[in-house]
Structure formats: C-alpha cells, structure tokens
Amino acid sequence: MPALLQLYGSPISTYYNKVKIALIELGLPFEEIEVMPGAGQWPDSGSPSGKIPFLRHGDGHVYESQAIVEYLEDIRAAGSPTLFPSEPLQRARCRELILYLELYLDAPMRPVYQSVFWGKEMPAGQLERTLQELEKGFRLLLLRTGLDPWLCGESFSHADSAAWVHLSTIQWALALAGHKTFVQDHAPELSGYLQRLSERPSVIQAEADRREASRRIKAERNAAKGS
Ligand SMILES: N[C@@H](CCC(=O)N[C@@H](CS)C(=O)NCC(=O)O)C(=O)O
C-alpha cells in the first residue's frame, strides 16, 4: 500500500491551508499532524527553517508550500485532477500569480499580522507603508488575471488556493487594523471572486477547521495564562 501523505502544521496557518486546499481539490487522501512553527527539531520532527507546513511521505519530507504542491502534482495518478493549466504559458502565469500573492501581498502584511494577531508592536509608519505596497500588489495581480472566473482562467488552480488564504487573511487583518474596506476600495474586482472562493467546498472545509483550531488555541492560551 502506498504511504499516506502526512501534512504537518496548523490549520490556523495560511501556507498550511494553501496546501490543504490543494490536497482536498486533488482528491489525495492525507492525514493532518498538528505542530506549531519551530515546535520540533529538524530532521526528526521539524522543518529546516522552523516554518510550517511540511509534508511527510513515507521516508521522505518536502518543505516549503510551493515545493509541496508541485510534489503533489508530480505524484498524482495519470488522468486524476490537476490544479495547473495544461498549456505551458498558462502554467507559468499560474506560478507567477502565486509569487505576486506571496511576495507583494503576503510579505508586506507580515508586520501587520504580528501586531493584530500576536500583539507585537508595529514600527511607526509601518501600516501606511504596508498599505502602499498592497496597492502595488493588487495592481500587479489584476494586470495578469481576468478573473474569468478563476485566477488562471476556467479551472480552479493552485493560484486560487494561494489567493484564498492570503486575500482572506489580509482582509481580516486590515479590518482589525481599522481598514475594513481597503481591499474593496482598492481592488473592487476581487469582491465577486472572493465570494466564489468562499463557496468552494475545499475552502469551506479549511475555513471550518481554521475557526475550530483558532478557538481551541485561544482557549488553551487563556487557560495557561490563568494557571
Ligand atoms: N515560504 C514558506 C512560508 C511558510 C510560513 O511563513 N509559515 C508560517 C506560518 S503561516 C510560519 O511557519 N511562520 C513562523 C516563522 O516565520 O518562523 C512556505 O511557502 O511554506
């Protein structure tokens, strides 16, 4: 029997959910093993960078979400669903859109996440700098997609799982930072697309698990504070 795919990380993590949505969409059976960043020692129980997610498959490990989803494509059975377009230039555009999301939208948000989700102090002027960078990120993304109806055309692709985790988290964090309508105001084209994504069964499942894990982790933290 082939080894089961084991996804390590936390359902509250954006990059973990990018991979999880891909696994569900590809119809690959997998097991989830909950670990927080830096929780384990590489190579036995952690990743070289300390980051999550990572994948274990038999005796092998794959680190970095993009390497993981490309591995999933490499091992899927011939004729089974794929999350990459078949035409090479469209495949390249799909990978390009993932990079836009990760480099020009997620990366500038990191200091804001640290502040609104983890209570760290934000350097002076950081929010304004992030908002400027986001405007550029949205411009790049929208220059290269017609949202017709998905990011890379007619079929849901790896770019869409990345888009959901990053865009929904950006919206949530900006609402907490007092900019609830920023995405709507600066990239109104994304509203219908985000609605479509939120109705996708793979996204509904990942979101339900994220909410549940988030509630549990918060309760554990509060209990630890009280003890
Ligand atoms: N480039 C990595 C990014 C993964 C990442 O940043 N994961 C976050 C959780 S969403 C993490 O582990 N953060 C802890 C850290 O930065 O040390 C990937 O694509 O897997």
Distance separating alpha carbons of residues 117 and 104, to the nearest angstrom? 20
Distance separating alpha carbons of residues 222 and 220, to the nearest angstrom? 5
- Each domain of the chain, given as residue ranges in start order, spans 5-75, 88-217
- Atom from ligand 1 closest to the CA of residue 50: 17
- CATH assignment of 5-75? 3.40.30.10
Other Cβ atoms within 10 Å of 175 Cβ, number: 14
Best of 47, 52, 66 for a ligand 1 pocket test (most atoms within 8 Å of beta carbon): 52
Distance separating alpha carbons of residues 180 and 66, to the nearest angstrom? 29
- Asked whether 64 lines ligand 1 (CB < 6 A), one says yes
pLDDT attached to residue 207: 98
Residue nearest to atom 19 of ligand 1 (CA): 65
Q: Which CATH number fits domain 88-217: 3.30.2130.10, 1.20.1730.10, 1.20.1420.20, 1.20.1050.10?
A: 1.20.1050.10
**Distance between Cα 162 and ligand 1 center (Å):** 13
- Asked whether 37 lines ligand 1 (CB < 6 A), one says yes
pLDDT attached to residue 45: 86
- Asked whether 15 lines ligand 1 (CB < 6 A), one says yes
- Per-10-residue mean pLDDT of the chain, 227 residues long, equals 91 98 98 95 92 97 98 96 97 98 98 97 97 98 97 98 98 98 98 98 98 96 87
Q: What Å distances lie between residue 27 and 23, 55, 226, CA to CA? A: 6, 16, 42
- Atom from ligand 1 closest to the CA of residue 64: 20
β partners of residue 56: 6, 61
Indicate the residue type of 169.
T
Identical fold for domains 5-75 and 88-217, yes or no, is: no
**Distance between Cα 223 and ligand 1 center (Å):** 26
CB < 8 Å & 24+ apart, contacts of 167-176: 167/101, 167/105, 167/194, 167/197, 168/194, 168/197, 168/198, 168/207, 169/14, 169/106, 169/109, 169/113, 170/105, 170/106, 170/109, 170/134, 173/109, 173/112, 173/113, 173/116, 173/117, 174/112, 176/116, 176/117
pLDDT attached to residue 1: 59
